[in-house]
Amino acid sequence: MPDFDAIVVGGGPAGVISALKCSQLGLNVLLIEQEDMGRHKPCGGILTSVCADILQGTLKMQIPQTVTCSPRTLGLYYVPPSGRRDSGRVKNYELLNVNRNLFDNWLLSHAIQSGVQVWTHAKFLDVRKSKPIQVLIMKNNRVTKMTTKYLIGADGVHSRVQRQLRNETKLKTVTILQEYCHAEGDFEDCFYMFFRESVSPTYSYLIPKDGLYVIGVGLPKNHPTAISEALNHFKNWLSEDFAFKLLSSKRKETWAIPYGFTFTGIGNIILAGDAAGFCNALSGEGIRLAIESGIAVGEAIQDAISTNKSLALTYTHHVDDLTNFIHRTYRFAISLTDKRREEFVKSELARIPLR
């Protein structure tokens, strides 16, 4: 008998929801996380209303005010290459502004309450695709060998679990540089998305958060422009169009997100969230996709148990819509010229969302 029915690598939303759903199936689950319970995850911390609905409707989890920032809700504001004169707020669109550290901790508390065993300061080292699966974990400076029927890699864009399966490190990513700053500017309570090729071929953004402005820019891996230079170009744009004035910089942080690749697993080893490539190439949205893939993990394991099929086979079916969405948005994002960005923003501002 294996030590666990499922071992989940990674304590972010994808890993926690995967572990939670497995525990709700009555499985014996271990979740391992490299950092502490209160880990810091660089992130813009923006949730769509769809994400909140999934948490409440599917998982019966109501996001508490204690994990949100001020302002708690934000509108969505698009700025095209031509600048402010053609920009505007998307009608009837609301986003939730969260503190990512507190949000992740809140999710993890639900997993622990459901019976998930959690090891912090535990590092996944290696996997051997035997039956049961053998997993090597470093904890307290000691290597421990555990066995499991299912292994779920939810350990981020540079997933070690994924690398063990693919032997491939050259994945498409976007590097994000984000700065928290005290500043002045002519901004509403909105999540601002800026599109201009001379600043970034992907996107730039601004978020009001707890008395600060969070500004960020993304560049594809190996882009010739330095990411710090791109951020300076973005600040100049903000100054010209929105009277942005930097008073002081609090901190900067850099990380990477997936950009157009997907890989969901092999045999009884699967991937969720950023590890699987589930991130919107147009907007950088990842939290909702991480949660949806975590739910799919639970559904796929339930199917695999009842049909005796490999987990990767059932999981591929459950994330088919997510996979197609990732590839569609990627193809659209890389096809954009500034002219098409203008057209995109114009169409978004003209439509009336359901919410």
Q: What is the CATH number of the domain that holds 119?
A: 3.50.50.60
Q: Is residue 80 part of a domain?
A: no
Q: Is residue 355 part of a domain?
A: no
Q: Is residue 21 part of a domain?
A: yes
The whole-angstrom separation of Cα 37 and Cα 91 is: 38
For residue 268, the enclosing domain spans 4-42+101-169+259-335
Single out the residue of 296, 254, 330 nearest to residue 154, CA to CA: 296
Single out the residue of 232, 200, 234 nearest to residue 218, CA to CA: 200
Please say whether the beta carbons of 315 and 300 come within 8 A. Answer: yes
Structure tokens at 109: 């508390």
Q: What is the pLDDT along the chain (355 residues), one digit of tens a residue?
A: 889 999 999 999 999 999 999 999 999 999 999 988 767 888 999 999 999 999 999 999 999 999 999 999 999 999 999 999 999 999 999 999 999 999 999 999 999 999 999 999 999 999 998 889 999 999 988 999 999 999 999 999 999 999 999 876 678 999 999 999 999 999 999 999 999 999 999 999 999 999 999 999 999 988 999 999 999 999 999 999 999 999 999 999 999 999 999 999 999 999 999 999 999 999 999 999 999 999 999 999 999 999 999 999 999 999 999 999 999 999 999 999 999 999 999 999 998 766 5
Q: Is residue 296 part of a domain?
A: yes
Q: Is residue 264 part of a domain?
A: yes
The domain total for the chain is 1
Q: Is residue 253 part of a domain?
A: no
